Structure 1
Amino acid sequence: MDWQYSDYSKINPNAKKHFPFDNPRDNQLETVSEIADAINHGYKYIVLEAGTGTGKSAIAATLSNMSDSSYILTITKQLQDQYLRDFKDFKVVKGRSNFRCQNYINKSCSEGKCLTEGFECRFSLKNRENEIRKDNTCPYYYQKYLALHAKTVVSNYYYMFLELNYVKDFQKRDLLIFDEAHNLESTLMDELTLEFSKSDLEEYLDYNLRCEKIEELNSNNYLNWIEFINEIKEGYLEELNKLERLDKLELAEKIAFIKHQINDCSRFIEHLTHDPKIWIFDWDDDYQTAQFKPLKVDNYAKNTLFDYADVCIFMSATILDWKLFSKWLGIPEDEIYAIRHKSPFDINNNPITAYDEYNLSRKFIKVNAQKSIGSINEILDKHKNEKGIIHTVSGKCRDFLIDNIADERLIAHDRHNRSEMLEEFISSDEPLVLISPSMSEGVDLPGDLCRFQVIYKLPFPDWGDKQINQRAGIDREWYDYRTCLNLVQTHGRGVRYDGDYCHTYVIDSRFRSYIREAFPSKFLPDTFKESIEGREFDLKEKKRLMEIGDFHIENNDYESAIIFFKELLNNELFKNDIYPYLKLSNLYHETGLFECEVQVIMRFLSSGAEYNHFEKRLKELADMGYFDFN
């Protein structure tokens, strides 16, 4: 897929008039003007991929100023606060947990009187006869009141999803801007997920979630799911009736939790019945939680978010493929207007050094992990007076590196203290090195806060996660898309302004071969590939060879095709690339050469690569008697 960079050069006078700062850059005004032009031509959905440094927040602010009413949604509270600092006329609205209840001492508004005792609180907005002021109104409702009457509201995805669909105080607006929009699909998946903790069910309902029930739910019979969820919901309703006759202050947290669970159950059943075939049940043995998850959201995004605005704008530095992006959100391709801009930053300030010695795939990591420690120590010594991050992908890799690297500069976090340890890292004057499996995005580390970073292992989504496994099984491109998204986002953590610099090191030797593969290669931006030191591959030549192979297949010349793809297996351009293996596997299958199919699949898997499709094919071949799967 070729997604050309925009060459739009007109400037709409209103763009400059509504720009929030004194000295706009030409590319910012041109981008605003192109979007305004697309809106005037009737486009409801506009995708903007603009690299770091193009000033996306100022573009969003200008478009909001040009409209009569707008929402700007971000992925984190930190980004909300950044909008508030930069654009004083905007109003930010956050969830109840960010405010203290005026009636209950040491309780947040998420456990406040209005939730536990109804809307009788003297600080609430309802039934107010006197003027609404900051000093006489609940802080949560006061900021909500200001937002309801503001021209531009800045919120996060989670809060506005619940508000628009269930609370319904906020109504449809002219413009809805999704900042960091590459997170939109995964965020919607999280919003639609229903989760029950085994310990919570035991504590609140005296319900023992037995192995037999888990097995029954695992059968993916959605009628069984509904029966189970209604049973849990009824149990919580009975418990709520008991608690509401007791001291509500003492039980505020418990009442709030139960009401939240009841609402979640009701919402989930509504979503499930809309499209039951795309849901799965998953049992997380580590956290002892039962989870009902969607595999896709293309039938949900429009009704739950996009219908609440006349125009939707999706902004990110990493859309990567606007056609797939829109498809996964259920937007027809012809309804999208797509714009792409490069980052203005010098790619020489953000180089990538790739190591070739350490294959850290599941098959080889036990052998190579210990060997990789010497190279990491060399990197740390090279940057001994500078701050950096080691991205580990998993908690297991994080723990291994902490246990095996003897360096007092290292600090790490667990899933409970991520924010605290990040703040310690940022505020320290020492050249600390933060080891983390979850700092690949949403973290702004300009200047000396991050002069180097290590990507320890390729950031493949976890095959062990049932939702990821099954989604990848029906959509291979989605799996590579998420991997490339993680790579590009991680690479962008250290260079945040023009003249900033950061050196990225990739330890996993699969990196070079992976980015040569057909799917990843088409997703990765040119600026990312050009940052890699010592590039030795020729994408044009690779594309030419792929066209020759497809020509043989289209003309049913299977003999020539098999010979051709066998030669590609030894071509350096296709080293460990799934493409020739997949083509050969299909050719052998179609021509009945099943023993050859087994051999080519095993050759691919022996390289340490992983591909779920081939595991399924081997099971089929085992059933046919051509392979011993055990």
Structure 2
Amino acid sequence: MTDLLPPVAFGLPEKFVDWRTDQDEAIFSIINNEKRFITQVAPCGFGKSLVYVAAAVFKGERSILLTSTKGLQTQLLNDFETMGAVDIRGRNAYPCNLVKDGTRCDQGPCIAGVKCGLKDEGRCLYFKQVKKAQKAKIVITNYAYWMTNSKYALEGLGDFDFMVCDEAHGVPNSVSAFLTVTLERSDVVVETILPSENVLHQMSIRAWRQWALSYEQRIAKEIELLSATVREGGGKTSRRRLSKLKSVKTNLATISNMQDDWAIDIGKFVISFAPVWPAPYCEESLFLNVNRILLTSASVCEKTVNMLGVSFEDNIIQEYAHTFPLENRLLTHIPHNPPVRMNRHTTDMQMRQWLTKIDQIIKGRLDRNGIVHTVSYDRRNLVITHSKHKEYMVTHKRLDTEKVVERFKRMKSPAILVSPSMSTGWDFPDDTCRYQIIGKIAYPDTRNVIVKARTKDDPEYTSYEAMQQLVQTCGRPVRSATDWAENFIIDDNIGWFIKRYGKFAPKWFTEAIRKSARIPTSPKIKKV
């Protein structure tokens, strides 16, 4: 119980009727924190967004709210737009009103220096949104846009007093993704300037820097010529090539300035350049001298903070207990006999055992909706092709996730969402999801050169990442104290994994883990 007046009394949206347990404490901890950083480990369903928006309102500070996914960005906008929060996304999210041929603003004539009257008239959808964001007290965007805009764009969003890094467990990867340069070997521009295959694998970081610098100048000249063509009326094809050339030039500039702490991954289709660790680059790329910063997530921990280069002296960490009933959020390990440990040595026979277990769990739950997490597209394809319940299954591709999720939430039972990547940034409350089957502990791909380099420095790195994924996956359903869902894991690695790496998980998560030799009887669903 709290003496704090209801949220609406402070101008917060009416949908927030009252404060949840510990929200008042979390709000005042943010407000009264004297250090630059505060890290709050808040369990799923805690109501993190209301906490940090309330803290911003109480303090009267101009605030930037950063999210990891467009889905969560949309959710925040839906929750707080009525109180003046403004959402801003990359140029490719807005159609160009000048040419009206399907071109997005990232490939409009203005990229060639064409003066566009729509910008000044307020009819360019992108710059119209930028101006709204520049005037807003609360701005919502994603990590990629925030870092890209701050580094490359002329249209800044202004100064902020308070930064919120939501889904903070993923911030090290968000910073790394922003810094990573990827050259597609089949790209029409890239393939003409890449060294030969034999030379590629012999090049040092210094050689790559010299290569990038020499071709950066050549690409700049082509950009100048093509920009003139576009200004003289060149069409969509010219604008697309110009956009591609500018992208390549930006990548070459990054490569020519990369430090010796970077790693290079030469693959069959792409070549990637990335810093081994994001910590040295977080201030200049993400934090940008903002005075007060909140890192918040259900699974953020001290190791996460260290990866961001935040010092112990400049940060406090607070962990809040889960207030939802334990029996409503259990993670039950259902072992195989004989055991099936999911890894690269898993046999075809074991995969059949694995799929059979999935079907057995689903069989007793055909009166409700659930999610199967496969952790790879190959296993996803196996399930949707060979499951006895495939007629009830839906899945998604990389580009249509949000659309498929919304469709799944509207589907009548039995509906089963089979996903290789639904661990963070999505909510499935109440009857939208009453059970989850986690098919495998999601370890990063250790074939990746950057992952190898990190593991060489820190042997526990991949296990830390896997634990983050597991905790986040289990938090997708159960969004309130009266909500409930069954979580099952059928990877028999879970036993040793929790014993050895439970230190990377919050207490509220490890206390909810159980083992059952038999598949539990499904709870009855109350019909309203």
Query: Measured at CA, do residues 14 and 435 of structure 1 come closer, stay the same or move farther in structure 2, by a change above 3 Å?
Result: closer
Q: Where in structure 2 are there 5+ consecutive unaligned residues?
A: 518-528
- Larger mean CA deviation between 362-371 and 42-51 belongs to 362-371
Query: Measured at CA, do residues 23 and 425 of structure 1 come closer, stay the same or move farther in structure 2, by a change above 3 Å?
Result: closer
Query: Measured at CA, do residues 58 and 418 of structure 1 come closer, stay the same or move farther in structure 2, by a change above 3 Å?
Result: closer
User: CA shift at 1:28, angstroms?
Assistant: 1.5
1:456 to 439, 449, 460: 439
> For 2:304 and 2:228, how far apart are their aligned partners in 1?
50
Q: Which residue of 2 aligns with 1:236?
A: 219
Query: Measured at CA, do residues 485 and 205 of structure 1 come closer, stay the same or move farther in structure 2, by a change above 3 Å?
Result: closer
User: CA shift at 1:188, angstroms?
Assistant: 0.3
Confirm whether residue 160 of structure 1 aligns to residue 146 of structure 2: yes
Q: Which residue of 2 aligns with 1:226?
A: 209
Query: Measured at CA, do residues 450 and 163 of structure 1 come closer, stay the same or move farther in structure 2, by a change above 3 Å?
Result: same
Q: Which residue of 1 aligns with 2:41?
A: 49
Q: Which residue of 1 aligns with 2:130?
A: 144
Confirm whether residue 113 of structure 1 aligns to residue 109 of structure 2: yes
Task: Specify the code of the residue in structure 2 equivalent to 1:260.
Answer: S
Q: Which residue of 1 aligns with 2:352?
A: 370
User: CA shift at 1:33, angstroms?
Assistant: 1.1
User: CA shift at 1:176, angstroms?
Assistant: 0.9
> For 2:283 and 2:6, how far apart are their aligned partners in 1?
30
User: CA shift at 1:47, angstroms?
Assistant: 0.5
User: CA shift at 1:521, angstroms?
Assistant: 1.9
1:85-484 aligned at under 5 Å gives the runs 85-87=78-80, 88=82, 89-105=84-100, 106-118=102-114, 120-125=115-120, 136-167=122-153, 169-200=156-187, 202=188, 206-207=192-193, 210-217=196-203, 221-246=204-229, 247-250=233-236, 251-270=238-257, 272=258, 276-285=259-268, 288-319=269-300, 321-322=301-302, 324-357=303-336, 358-407=340-389, 408-484=391-467
> For 1:139 and 1:306, how far apart are their aligned partners in 2?
28
> For 1:15 and 1:441, how far apart are their aligned partners in 2?
27
Query: How many residue pairs are counted as aligned between the two chains?
Result: 501
Task: Specify the code of the residue in structure 2 equivalent to 1:158.
Answer: A
**RMSD of aligned alpha carbons:** 2.5
Task: Specify the code of the residue in structure 1 equivalent to 2:77.
Answer: L
> For 1:373 and 1:204, how far apart are their aligned partners in 2?
42
**Greater helix fraction, Structure 1 or Structure 2:** 1
Q: Which residue of 2 aligns with 1:577?
A: none
- Larger mean CA deviation between 236-245 and 347-356 belongs to 236-245
Larger Rg: 1
User: CA shift at 1:333, angstroms?
Assistant: 0.6
* 8 Å Cα contact 1:101-1:112 kept in structure 2: yes
User: CA shift at 1:175, angstroms?
Assistant: 0.8
TM-score by length of 1: 0.75
Query: Measured at CA, do residues 25 and 488 of structure 1 come closer, stay the same or move farther in structure 2, by a change above 3 Å?
Result: closer
Q: Where in structure 1 are there 5+ consecutive unaligned residues?
A: 1-8, 126-131, 537-630
Confirm whether residue 526 of structure 1 aligns to residue 519 of structure 2: no
* 8 Å Cα contact 1:410-1:433 kept in structure 2: yes
Q: Which residue of 1 aligns with 2:520?
A: none
User: CA shift at 1:453, angstroms?
Assistant: 1.2
* 8 Å Cα contact 1:452-1:503 kept in structure 2: yes
Confirm whether residue 491 of structure 1 aligns to residue 483 of structure 2: no
User: CA shift at 1:229, angstroms?
Assistant: 1.9
> For 1:67 and 1:476, how far apart are their aligned partners in 2?
44
Q: Which residue of 1 aligns with 2:523?
A: none
Task: Specify the code of the residue in structure 2 equivalent to 1:45.
Answer: F
> For 2:250 and 2:194, how far apart are their aligned partners in 1?
22
Query: Measured at CA, do residues 415 and 151 of structure 1 come closer, stay the same or move farther in structure 2, by a change above 3 Å?
Result: closer
Q: Which residue of 1 aligns with 2:52?
A: 60
> For 1:185 and 1:522, how far apart are their aligned partners in 2?
19
* 8 Å Cα contact 1:15-1:29 kept in structure 2: no
Task: Specify the code of the residue in structure 2 equivalent to 1:186.
Answer: N
Superimposed CA distance per residue, residues 20-59 of structure 1 (whole angstroms, 9 cap, x where no aligned partner): 2553346222211122221xxx310111111122211111
**SS of alignment partner, residue 308 of structure 1:** coil
* 8 Å Cα contact 1:515-1:521 kept in structure 2: yes
User: CA shift at 1:475, angstroms?
Assistant: 0.9
> For 2:288 and 2:189, how far apart are their aligned partners in 1?
40
> For 1:195 and 1:204, how far apart are their aligned partners in 2?
11
Q: Which residue of 2 aligns with 1:594?
A: none
* 8 Å Cα contact 1:12-1:33 kept in structure 2: no
Q: Indicate the percent of aligned positions where both proteins have the same amino acid.
A: 25
User: CA shift at 1:172, angstroms?
Assistant: 3.2
Q: Which residue of 2 aligns with 1:542?
A: none
**SS of alignment partner, residue 508 of structure 1:** coil
* 8 Å Cα contact 2:201-2:266 kept in structure 1: no
Task: Specify the code of the residue in structure 2 equivalent to 1:117.
Answer: G
User: CA shift at 1:15, angstroms?
Assistant: 9.4
Query: Measured at CA, do residues 375 and 77 of structure 1 come closer, stay the same or move farther in structure 2, by a change above 3 Å?
Result: closer
Superimposed CA distance per residue, residues 351-407 of structure 1 (whole angstroms, 9 cap, x where no aligned partner): 222132222222234441122222221111011122211111112222232333232
> For 1:523 and 1:184, how far apart are their aligned partners in 2?
16
TM-score by length of 2: 0.89
> For 2:402 and 2:350, how far apart are their aligned partners in 1?
31
Query: Measured at CA, do residues 163 and 55 of structure 1 come closer, stay the same or move farther in structure 2, by a change above 3 Å?
Result: same
> For 2:93 and 2:349, how far apart are their aligned partners in 1?
47
* 8 Å Cα contact 1:10-1:30 kept in structure 2: no
> For 1:79 and 1:448, how far apart are their aligned partners in 2?
20
> For 2:215 and 2:405, how far apart are their aligned partners in 1?
38
- Larger mean CA deviation between 14-23 and 399-408 belongs to 14-23
Query: Measured at CA, do residues 235 and 429 of structure 1 come closer, stay the same or move farther in structure 2, by a change above 3 Å?
Result: farther
> For 1:450 and 1:16, how far apart are their aligned partners in 2?
30
Query: Measured at CA, do residues 268 and 347 of structure 1 come closer, stay the same or move farther in structure 2, by a change above 3 Å?
Result: farther
> For 1:423 and 1:195, how far apart are their aligned partners in 2?
31
Query: Measured at CA, do residues 84 and 361 of structure 1 come closer, stay the same or move farther in structure 2, by a change above 3 Å?
Result: closer
* 8 Å Cα contact 2:39-2:318 kept in structure 1: yes
Task: Specify the code of the residue in structure 1 equivalent to 2:405.
Answer: L
> For 1:465 and 1:434, how far apart are their aligned partners in 2?
29
- Larger mean CA deviation between 362-371 and 466-475 belongs to 362-371
**SS of alignment partner, residue 99 of structure 2:** coil
Superimposed CA distance per residue, residues 593-624 of structure 1 (whole angstroms, 9 cap, x where no aligned partner): xxxxxxxxxxxxxxxxxxxxxxxxxxxxxxxx
- Larger mean CA deviation between 392-401 and 379-388 belongs to 392-401
1:508 to 473, 483, 491: 491
Q: Which structure exhibits the higher relative contact order, with contacts defined as CA atoms closer than 8 Å and separated by 6 or more residues?
A: 2
